[in-house]
Structure 1
Amino acid sequence: MQSAPKSRPGTFTVIEAAPDRLDESPALMRRRWSDEAKTRILEEAMMPGANVSAVARAHRVSPQQLFAWRRKAVRSGAIAILPAKPEVQTQGFAPVEMSHENGACAGGLEIVIGDATIRVGSDVAPALLAEAIRAVRSA
C-alpha cells in the first residue's frame, strides 16, 4: 500500500526543550553503601558455593550492583579471585565379565556398581548410559 502523493511541501516544526525533571516524578534517593558494608556483602558472596543473586536479594542489592562491586574490587587488587580447584578424578579399569546365553553373546550390557545393577540393551544411547552411571554413583 502506498500513500498518496502530497500536494504541498512538508514542513517541520522545531521544538526546543530544556532537560528538566518533571514536577510529578518522585525524587529517588540513591543509597550509599559504606566500604565496610560492601566488603561484608562481597565476602558473603565470595564464599564457596554461595549464590551471588541470593546474597544480593538478602541484602536488598541488585545482582548487577554486586557484580559491579566485585569487578571493581578485583581490578583494584582489593580481592583476588582464585581459580577453582579442578576435581581430581582417578580413572581405573573395572573387571569385565562376558556372559553367554546358549553359546551366543548377549545383546545387552549389565553394569554392577556397588549394590546397584544397570541392565541396558544394545540400542541405548551412550549419553543416556553415562547419565545413568553418574546417577548411580552419586546416590
Structure 2
Amino acid sequence: MLRRRWSAEAKARILEEALAPGANVSAVARTHGVSPQQVFAWRRKAIRSGEIVVQTRGSEAEAQSFAPLEVAREDSGCTSGLEIVIGDATIRVGNDVAPTLLTEAIRAVRSA
C-alpha cells in the first residue's frame, strides 16, 4: 500500500471541513479519500501545536463541569428511578425510561 503525502494546505482544508459545526469526520474523510483516523490525528496534532483552537458553545471556550451524583436507595436497597437536578429544574424518571427519551429531556432542560 502506498503512503500518500498531504500538503499543509490540503490538510488545513480537510480539517476546516471536518471541524465545521455538525460535520461528520468520517464522511469528510471518505470524501477526500483519507481514513477518519488520519483526520483525527491531524486534528489532535493541530490542537496540540496551537495551530487550531477548538471552542465550545459560542465564542468563548467553557470548562466542562460535572454535577455531584447521589444515589438514594429505598428501604429495600434497590433504586426505583432517577432524579436529575439541572439548575432549578428536576427530572424524575423511573428505571424503565428509554435512554433516548431521557437524553432528549436533559437536552431540553439544558437549552431552556
TM-score (norm. length: structure 2): 0.53
**Per-residue CA shift, 1:35-57, capped at 9, x if unaligned?**
00000000000000000000001
1:61 aligns with 2:34: yes
Larger Rg over CA atoms? 1
Higher relative contact order (CA 8 A, sep 6+): 2
- 2: CA distance between counterparts of 1:43 and 1:35? 12
- 1: CA distance between counterparts of 2:2 and 2:15? 23
Please list every run of 5 or more consecutive structure 1 residues that lacks an aligned counterpart in the other structure: 1-27, 93-124
Could you tell me which residue of structure 2 aligns to residue 73 of structure 1?
46
Could you tell me which residue of structure 2 aligns to residue 45 of structure 1?
18
- 1: CA distance between counterparts of 2:49 and 2:38? 16
Q: How many residues align?
A: 74
What's the offset of the Cα at 1:91? Answer: 7.4
Q: Secondary structure at the match of 2:14?
A: helix
Paired amino acid for 1:47: A
Q: Secondary structure at the match of 1:80?
A: coil
Identity over the aligned pairs, expressed in percent? Answer: 58
